[in-house]
Structures are given as structure tokens and as C-alpha cells.
Structure 1
Amino acid sequence: MAGVRRFDEEAVLDRVMQVFWEHGYEATSIDDLEAATGLKRGSLYNAFGDKERLFLTAFERYQRRFQRPLLDALEDPDPRRAFARYFDVQITGLSSQPLPTGCLMANALAEAGNRSDRIGCAAREAFAASEGAFYDALRRAQAEGRLAPGHDARALARFFLAVSRSLALIHRSLGDDRYMRDVARSALLVLDAPPEGERSSAS
């Protein structure tokens, strides 16, 4: 019947996601997407929209598949266990997936984070959502007495987000699991240190 799609949309989106992940938005051509999916641009556009819409749809899929499991790790009420689990899931995922190196979210933020178009907005929103999840986990820990109230939860959230993005960069540049785990293990020591005000008064 005319107009019936004769392809697996989920599988096609996975291939589109991998191409953008590996090459970035600007460097990816429609020819690249045709070659990766085996579909002509007319079929791709009819199913998903133009190149920008294709990227945004693939980016949403990336967040569901790869970011959501990371944020789920933060549900542990103990902040040290939560962030240790987060980094373990991230490093294991980076190392074991037969996918492009690094992180599509970090790549998108580096390429388009300062732009005002829909891709720039999507990259910043994803980044802010991760920071918000970190902040919420830290504030819950403070409310439950598992983290000293003197800690600046917002600053800690931004610190851990920076560590997380640096792990993706290390993976993309070096592909060294031990290096990544050393960084993550050292970052967790921040949670063991007393808040800044308490350190000052103790000295």
C-alpha cells in the first residue's frame, strides 16, 4: 500500500544517532545518513523531518537509552553510593558499548551549546537536567542527614557534572578505563571532606 513505511524506525533512529554521535551535527551530511540507514532522503524526511528534526529525534532517543540509566543510579539515598554507582554505570557503558566514543550530549553541547537554535537549546536543556538531577540527589541526602548541610549542593552538582563530562572526553581521547576510574574515585572524596566553613573553623 502506498505510504506504508517498510522499515524499522527504531533501528533507523539508532543508526542516525550513531552517525551524529560520531561525526557531529554540522559534519554529518544527508548522504552520510542515507548510507548509514539504507534509506533515501525522501523516506528519512517523510518519517522524521529535516536534518535538524532528525538530530533532535535521535538526541531524545540517546537520552532515553543512555542518560536515563545514569540518572536512575542517583536514586540511592546514600550520596557516596549514588555517585559511585553513577560513575560506574557511565564508565561501564562508555567502555562496553560497540558505539562511537565519548558522549553525544557532551559533543552536542561543545558544538552547539552557545547557539540559539533548537539544537543548542536541546543540548543546554539536557545539560541542565543532569545538573538538576545531581542537585536533587544531594539535597535529598542533606535532608536525610546523609550529607552535611554546610555543603553547597549546587556547587557540588556542577562539580560532579563537570567530572562526568570530563570522563566522556577522556574516553573519546584516550579510551582508558583505569584513567576514568581513577578520576571518578578521586571525585568521590569531595563528599568525605567537611564543608568549607567547617574546614576553616577547624583550622
Structure 2
Amino acid sequence: MAGRRQFDEKQALEQVLDVFWHQGYGATSMADLATATGVQRGSLYNAYHDKEALFLRVFKDYEVAFVADAVARLAHPDPRQALLDFFDFTIESMTAGTPARGCLTTKTATDTRAGTEPIRGALRGMLDGLERVLADRLSQDDAVDRLAVPPVEAARVLVTMTRGNVVMESVYQDPSRLRAAAKTLVDMIVRVD
């Protein structure tokens, strides 16, 4: 039937995301995606047009889920614990899998073959969204008076730390080291009551 996908789109998109996450954007071909999904290349092209459009499609789903999970982790009533929970979440995300899968956003940002403006815009959108949810949490009454810097500045530093943690994880492969660094940063940003 014309216009109707002849494959399980949800499952195929999950498999596509997994390939991009493990191999990186530049190292992934449409043939790789067809093999991983079991969907013919022509059907992938017909449904999504090209590799970049397919990446942007799965990255948007990833962004929505990641930011929602971050919001859930920031819900703790104590702002210090909320930030520590947030860092636990980001560290768990990047260290999942064997070998550890790393961070899709950072992996894509450092991939010289992923430097198109649509991809850069998607990455900025993800990081800006993460900054917004952190700034919103830190702007709440229970946090704002305890901050060493304004909420927006704190959020920017916290997101920057998550990107640095990705690099440190790839070098040291030691989640406890990442958690200790995150705790030190939280101690510097939020005073203990």
C-alpha cells in the first residue's frame, strides 16, 4: 500500500539510534542502518530521505527522552541531592553498554563529518534544553538563595561539566571519579544548609 511503512518504525528507529550511538554519525552508512534494521536501503531513503534526516529524526526522540529523564532526576526536594541525582543519571547514561556507549551528543559534536548546520542546531537545541531545565530547577525557592552564582550561569557550568565528564569517562573509565568531580562542582555551586 503506497505511503504506508512496511516495517516496524519504532523498532527500526531504536536500532538506528543504537548504530549512530555506537559507531558515530560519520562512521555510519545507510548500508549499516539497513543491515541493523533489516529494512532495505531504498525503503529507508523513501521514508527518511537521507542519513542526516534519519539522524535528526532519532536524535529528536533521544533529546525528548533524555531531557524528560533529567527533569525526573532533578525532582528531589533538596537542590544539592537533585543535582547529584542528575549527575548520576548522566553518568549512568554514558557508561551503559559494553563497551560503554559514551554520550551521543558529545560524540556527534566532536565528529568532523557531523558538522552540518542542521546537526549543529540539533545539538545546540539539546544542550540549551538541558540548561533550561537545570536553570528552572535552580530558580526554585529551595535553591536560588543557596547558589554561589545565578541559576542560568550555574546551569551552563553544570551542562559544560557533563560534556567534560564524557571525555574523562573515555580516558579513565571510572564512574566513581566522575561522581566525585560532580560532587565537588555541586559543593561549589550550592551551599550546604
**CA–CA distance in 2 between the matches of 1:145 and 1:189?**
13
- Residue of structure 2 in register with 1:184 after alignment: 182
C-alpha change, 1:149 and 1:163, in structure 2 (3 Å) is closer
Q: With structure 2 as the length reference, what TM-score do the two structures score?
A: 0.84
Amino acid in the other structure paired with 1:175: Q
Q: CA deviation at 1:150?
A: 5.9
Matches within 5 A, 1:15-164: 15-97=15-97, 101-111=101-111, 115=115, 117-140=117-140, 143-144=141-142, 147-148=145-146, 151-164=149-162
Q: With structure 1 as the length reference, what TM-score do the two structures score?
A: 0.80
Kindly indicate whether the alpha-carbon contact (under 8 Å) linking 2:20 and 2:55 is maintained by their aligned counterparts in 1: yes
Kindly indicate whether the alpha-carbon contact (under 8 Å) linking 1:101 and 1:171 is maintained by their aligned counterparts in 2: no
**CA–CA distance in 2 between the matches of 1:136 and 1:72?**
13
Unaligned runs of 5+ in 1: 195-203
- Residue of structure 2 in register with 1:198 after alignment: none
Kindly indicate whether the alpha-carbon contact (under 8 Å) linking 2:130 and 2:159 is maintained by their aligned counterparts in 1: yes
Q: Secondary structure at the match of 2:42?
A: helix
Kindly indicate whether the alpha-carbon contact (under 8 Å) linking 2:74 and 2:86 is maintained by their aligned counterparts in 1: yes
C-alpha change, 1:14 and 1:173, in structure 2 (3 Å) is farther
Aligned residues: 191
Deviations 1:10-66 (CA, angstroms, capped at 9, x unpaired): 111111112212232222211221222122211112223321110001101212333
C-alpha change, 1:31 and 1:169, in structure 2 (3 Å) is same
Unaligned runs of 5+ in 2: none
C-alpha change, 1:155 and 1:7, in structure 2 (3 Å) is same
Q: What RMSD over aligned residues (CA atoms) do the two structures have, in Å? A: 2.6
Q: CA deviation at 1:193?
A: 4.7
Q: CA deviation at 1:130?
A: 0.9
Amino acid in the other structure paired with 1:27: A
